[in-house]
Structure formats: C-alpha cells, structure tokens
Amino acid sequence: MATLQALNLLFSGDTELWEIIFLSFSVSFRAILFSAPLAIMIAFCLAYLQFPARRFFIALFNTAMSIPAVVVGLTLYLLLSRSGPLGDLKLLFTQEAMIIGQMVLCFPLLVALSHATLQAVDRRAWETAITLGAHPFRAVFTVLKEARFGLTAAILAGFGRIIAEVGSSMMVGGNILHYTRNIPTAIALETSKGSFAQGIALGIVLLLMALLLNLFLTYIQGQGEHSL
C-alpha cells in the first residue's frame, strides 16, 4: 500500500518530494564540483612527485575514506555552532554547511581513487609529453586526459558516497523543509514519523540513481578498456 502511495507521489509530481530531490542533487553536485579539482591535483602530486611524507599522506587519505559521516557532522557542528571557533560565519543549518560536510566526506575518497588511477597511467605518457615539448602543466593535463575514464569513475564513486549520506547533512543541515532537507534526511524523518510513502518514494529515487551511476560506471570502464 505504502509502495503504491510512493509511486503515486513520484509520478504525480509532488512538489515537496521533487523539491527535496532537487535540493539533494544540487548540494551534492556542488560539493563534488568544489572538491574534485583540488583532490585530483593532490592525487597527481602523490602519484608523480617524490617528497618526504608522501607515503604518510597516501595512508592518511586511505584512512580518511572510512571516517563515518556522523563524525564529520559532529566535528563540523562543534566548529560551526555559535560557541564554536567558526560560529561567527553563521553557517550552521545552511546548505553551505551541508556542502562543506559532503566535501570533507568525499575528498579523501576522490584523492585515494584518483591516486590509484593516476598511479596506473603509464609513466611513458608523462615522458612522451615532456619530450615532445609540452610545458609540465600541459603534460599534467595530458596525463589527466589519459586517465579520464578512471577519474570519471572516481568522481561518480564520490558522488555516490555523498548523495546517500545522512549523518553529516542531518547534523549541520538541520533537516529544514524547503532549505536543507535532502533525500537521506527526509527518509530518516518520515520513517521516524511512521509515514513511509515519501520515504519509499525517495528510496526508489536513490536506488534508481545508484543503478544509473553503476550503469554509467560500467560503460565508462568499458570505454577505458577499449582505449587501451
């Protein structure tokens, strides 16, 4: 019964439901957009440059991948709350705070996966670009282009991680309707109220998105193998 209601909500174009879906994608998309460039550049440095503590940083990012979202939420909450060191910024319970939380969550994953991808790119790609007269910055972009399929897969994996996280968004976003309520926090709220229809509808959206992301990932990986 609840499932039928959920499907009805989805297909009838329920404004509140679609607003939550849109907000969720908007926040997570911005979080990925802001984190990916820096994460990829750090990954490149870890893969191609030799410097002290390089291995330590690799281990650090690998470890940070498994930080629970609720710990990130708690830390940010303490930093952003009125009595916290960043309280003056008045970011708590805003979309910006949710974006920061999601950036913190996906950043180590993006670095670790991009590093693994870039590490796997043939060293001759860099040497060939340099010996053909490319400026080192251009050579970096050539290597990134060679790794584009793996990097896209890393970004999609990062997006998958944050679109479904509830701990951080709930704590620093506050689950405010029309402003900071996204799919996972809405599901948590509706379930606690015993109102399952909206929760199921949003769950269907998340599952569909996971399916689409995985199909796209499989396609991307296929393209990567084809180009080898």
Q: Give the interface with other proteins as residue ranges (CB under 8 A).
A: 122, 124-125, 127-135, 138, 142, 145-146, 226-228
- Considering beta carbons, is residue 41 or 125 the nearer one to other proteins? 125
- Considering beta carbons, is residue 5 or 221 the nearer one to other proteins? 221
Tokens of 213: 């992301």
What is the SS3 assignment for 28-86? HHHHHHHHHHHHHHHHHHHHHCCCCCHHHHHHHHHHHCCCCHHHHHHHHHHHHCCCCCC
- The least distance separating other proteins from the CB of residue 111, rounded to whole angstroms, comes to 24
**End-to-end CA, the chain:** 50
- Considering beta carbons, is residue 150 or 167 the nearer one to other proteins? 150
- Considering beta carbons, is residue 24 or 142 the nearer one to other proteins? 142
- Give me the helix-helix angle, 136-146 and 123-131, nearest 10°: 140
Burial zone of 112 (CB within 10 Å; 0-12 exposed, 13-18 middle, 19+ buried): buried
- Considering beta carbons, is residue 74 or 134 the nearer one to other proteins? 134
- The least distance separating other proteins from the CB of residue 4, rounded to whole angstroms, comes to 49
- Considering beta carbons, is residue 15 or 227 the nearer one to other proteins? 227
- Distance, in Å, from the CA atom of 197 to the CA atom of 8, rounded to the nearest integer, reads 9
| Nearest partner of 209 among 166, 167, 173, 161, judged by Cα | 161
Count Cβ atoms below 10 Å from residue 188 Cβ, excluding itself.
Answer: 16
- The least distance separating other proteins from the CB of residue 140, rounded to whole angstroms, comes to 14
- The least distance separating other proteins from the CB of residue 36, rounded to whole angstroms, comes to 21
- The least distance separating other proteins from the CB of residue 146, rounded to whole angstroms, comes to 6
- The least distance separating other proteins from the CB of residue 144, rounded to whole angstroms, comes to 12
